[in-house]
Every structure is written in structure tokens, then in C-alpha cells.
Structure 1
Amino acid sequence: MTLKKEAWLTYVTLIPVVTGVIIASGGEPSFHVFGFIMCVGATAARALKTVVQGILLSSEGEKLNSMNLLLYMAPIAVVVLLPATLYMEENVVGITIALARQDFGIVWLLLFNSTLAYFVNLTNFLVTKHTSALTLQVLGNAKGAVAVVVSILIFRNPVSVTGMAGYTLTVIGVILYSEAKKRSKNGPV
């Protein structure tokens, strides 16, 4: 969409990132084809959103900064996600109110969670503005691999050898991508 070209080495380093994700997905103990298709669709939609936000943040005509973009995108997210939440999670409002009546601490946890979400989105926009949409997507894959490792350590979630091999390959690909980006900034590759 932006017609921006990367160094050839950068494209080569994406191969282990993508391959690792595919291997890890196939090695998932609860793998399901429909879930995989939905995941690919969500990844494509996230990539499109990131590219569009990168265009909006770098466009001279728009003059949007990260805070303004978040200001415009948040209401759209509420309009899209609130009806889906109310439909898919029956009586979520009633359950939340009942939990708050039992223990008011849940209100503080929800406020803390909302604040963290705000800063995650703001950081997401800042990373996109100062690097690129591609870098943000690669970092997203690294975050997924780290989340799996943390879930194994904390929750003892099962993972296959194939899955671990895929996550390891993804992390290696992210490291190679980082090195390729450093080299391309220092000179032609």
C-alpha cells in the first residue's frame, strides 16, 4: 500500500518468522483448521490496520500524532466491539455489576486494565510512527512466542516439541530481522 521497499535481507529474515509461526500453529495441541483460518484473517486485518495507521501517522497532509489517532480510533473500536461483546458474552454487564457488589476491588482491576490497554495502544502507535508497520507485525509475532513461553511457565499449558521448535524459529527470525534492519540503516545491503 505504501510502495516502500525494504532491503532484500529484510525480506529473507521474514522467512523464519513466518515459517516458525506456521510450524508452531501446526504443533498446537488444540489445533483446529477453522481457528487457524480465523487467526490468519485476524493477522491480515491487524496488518492492514497497522499499515493504515502508519500512513496516517506519517502523512504530511493529515498531521495526526499518536494521541489524536487514538482519540479517533477508540470510539470506532467501541462501536464495533461493544455489540459483539454484548452478543457473545451473555449478561456480561449484570455479571460485572454483581462481581463489583461482592468485591469492589474488581472495579479497580478493570480501571487498571483499561489504563494498561490505553498505554499499549499508545505505544503501538508510537512504535509504528518511529519504525514501520512491518516492524510492528514482526514484534507482534515475537510477543506471541513470549506469551506462549510465559503461559507454559505460569499456567503449565501443554506444548508439543513441534510447537516449541516453531516458537524458537520465530524468535530467531525476529532477531535476524532486527539485525537486518540495523544493517540496512548503516548502509546498502
Structure 2
Amino acid sequence: MKVSVSGKLFTLGLISFWYASNIGVLLLNKYLLSNHGFRYPIFLTLCHMMACSILSYVAIAWLKMVPMQTVRSRVQFVKISSLGLIFCLSVVGGNISLRYLPVSFNQAIGATTPFFTAVFAYLMTLRREGWLTYVTLLPVVAGVIIASGGEPSFHLFGFIMCIAATAARALKTVLQGVLLSSEGEKLNSMNLLMYMAPVAVAFLLPASIIMEEDVIGITISLAREDSSILWLLMFNSALAYFVNLTNFLVTKHTSALTLQVLGNAKGAVAVVISILIFRNPVSVTGMFGYSLTVIGVILYSEAKKRGK
């Protein structure tokens, strides 16, 4: 009985930490990019990926949290690199969108991930879902259209970047299933992150230097004026890794379906907290649209579950 209770408490603690790291990194990204005036989303993503590279290696090689899996061939490395590029594009797009959009609207668009996943799965694998599954995607898309029309802080470029980030996230999920489908090539999410993150760093470093002129010099200058920016960047980067770590651990100790359900609730919690913190204006139409999207995602999850 004691083991059962302690096990439940451990799982509850994991879920709480997963929520805290997910919502924390989202709100801190928004604070840094919009409210704090650190307008360098590519460099911010570079910091995230550097932290993921270092901490994932520490967790696997030193702390032995999971067995280390090796890259077995050049072909597998190319596949992982492709996933790494798409992964970094999704994070960059999400961070850029936070410069222009409130967290509440960002989360509403992000909730359409199942729609893009279904589209890419059909285009790339010709795998068809049941008709009911596709029907449940209608409120997912309709909700975002309604939310967009009722969003007081709507910004077209931010909206496009957020859609691109959501689509890239879905594409990475589908591609991961296609590219690393054989038993010899499958990697757990922690090992995959350890190999993808350095690839993302290799892409992001020149991109940040070229597109965000003198970003390192500006960051050093800002740090001299106010050292808190360095602590914020380090804490934010560590949180970005813990999002991935807790995501893996929650899936391991519960299930992928539980993670999906918790993720739907997390989006709603993030919206409420962001509105309370940043005081961004919201409309009844926007909230109705977001609610419709969340309902659609829940129905989609149920339809997928029954389809199996």
C-alpha cells in the first residue's frame, strides 16, 4: 500500500514538474522576447539547444537515466540531422511568434497540432484514419479561425510563424515514425534529443550571427548593465531541457494517451496564467474559438483511441 501511495505521489510530482517546466518556459520566453526587450528569438533558441545538448549528455552518459543508444550508420545520422533541423525550425518559429502574439493565442494555434499530424501522416504514409477522426478535426480548425477573428492582438507575421512552428512540430512527429521505423534505428526521446540538439546548434549559430547582428556583443552589453539577463537565459535554457526530460518521464510512468490529455489541460492552464500575468486583452469570441479547438482535440483523442 505504501509503495502504491508513494508511486502515485511520485507520478503526481512528475506531472506537476512537467506542467511547471512547460508553462514556465513558455511564459519566460514571452517575458524575455516581449516584455524584457530581448528581441533575439534565434539566439534564445540557440541557448535552449546548447542546454539540451549538454544536459541530455549528462543525464544519459553520467547519470545513466536511460541506456545510451549509438548512431549505427551514416544514413541514420542523416535522418537524425533532418529531424534536428525540423525540430529547431519548430522551436525558432514558436519563439518568433511569441514576440508578436500573446501566449493565449499562441496556445490556441498550437492546439491544432493533431490536424497537421493527420495531414502529414496521410501525405507521407497514405495512412487513413476513420471518418469520425477526420470529422473531429473540423472544430479544431474552426476554433482557430474563430479565435483569429476575435483576437485583439492579432499579428499576421506572428500568426504565420506560429502556424509554421505547429506544422513543423507535427512534421517532425510523423517523420520520426517514418525515418526511424526499423528496430535497429529506433531511439528513445532522450537519446534522440541528445543527437538532435547539437545538429540544431550547428544550424542556429551561423543563423543567429548572420540574422541577429552582433547579438553576442549586445547580450554581453546587456549583462554588464543588468546581470539578471544572464541568469534568466540560463534558467530559461535549463527549463527548456526539463520540458523534454519530464515529457519523457511522464510518458514512461503513465502513457502517451495520458500525456495527450494532460497536454490539452496544460494549454488551458497556460492561457489562464498568461492572461493573469501579462494582462493581454481577450475577447469572448477568442475564448470561444480556443475552447472549441480544445474540445475538438479532446474528441480527436477519443476517436483515435476508439479507432485502435
Who is 2:241 aligned against? 118
- Counterpart-to-counterpart distance in 1, 2:266 and 2:177: 20
Unaligned runs of 5+ in 2: 1-123
- Asked if 1:152 is matched to 2:275, the reply is yes
Who is 1:12 aligned against? 135
Report percent identity of matched pairs.
81
Who is 2:221 aligned against? 98
CA distance 1:181–1:46, change in 2 (3 Å): same
* Pick aligned residue for 1:76 from 166, 184, 199: 199
Who is 2:182 aligned against? 59
Who is 2:32 aligned against? none
* TM-score in terms of structure 1 length: 0.73
Mapping 1:168-183, distance limit 5 Å: 168-183=291-306
Q: Give the CA deviation at 1:33.
A: 4.1
Q: Give the CA deviation at 1:67.
A: 2.2
Q: Give the CA deviation at 1:174.
A: 2.2
Who is 2:165 aligned against? 42
> Relative CO higher for 1 or 2, CA cutoff 8 Å, sep ≥ 6?
1
CA distance 1:158–1:30, change in 2 (3 Å): same
Q: Could you list the per-position Cα deviations for residues 96-129 of structure 1 after superposition, in whole angstroms to 9, with x for gaps in the alignment?
A: 2234345545434322222211122345677899
The Cα RMSD (Å) is: 3.5
Who is 2:288 aligned against? 165
- Counterpart-to-counterpart distance in 2, 1:178 and 1:164: 21
Q: Could you list the per-position Cα deviations for residues 120-177 of structure 1 after superposition, in whole angstroms to 9, with x for gaps in the alignment?
A: 2345677899649xx97x9878765554433222111012222111111112112222
Is contact 1:57-1:64 (8 Å) kept?
A: yes
Is contact 1:141-1:170 (8 Å) kept?
A: no
Who is 2:85 aligned against? none
CA distance 1:56–1:12, change in 2 (3 Å): same
- Counterpart-to-counterpart distance in 2, 1:123 and 1:184: 28
- Counterpart-to-counterpart distance in 2, 1:128 and 1:12: 27
Unaligned runs of 5+ in 1: none
- Counterpart-to-counterpart distance in 2, 1:140 and 1:99: 35
* TM-score in terms of structure 2 length: 0.48
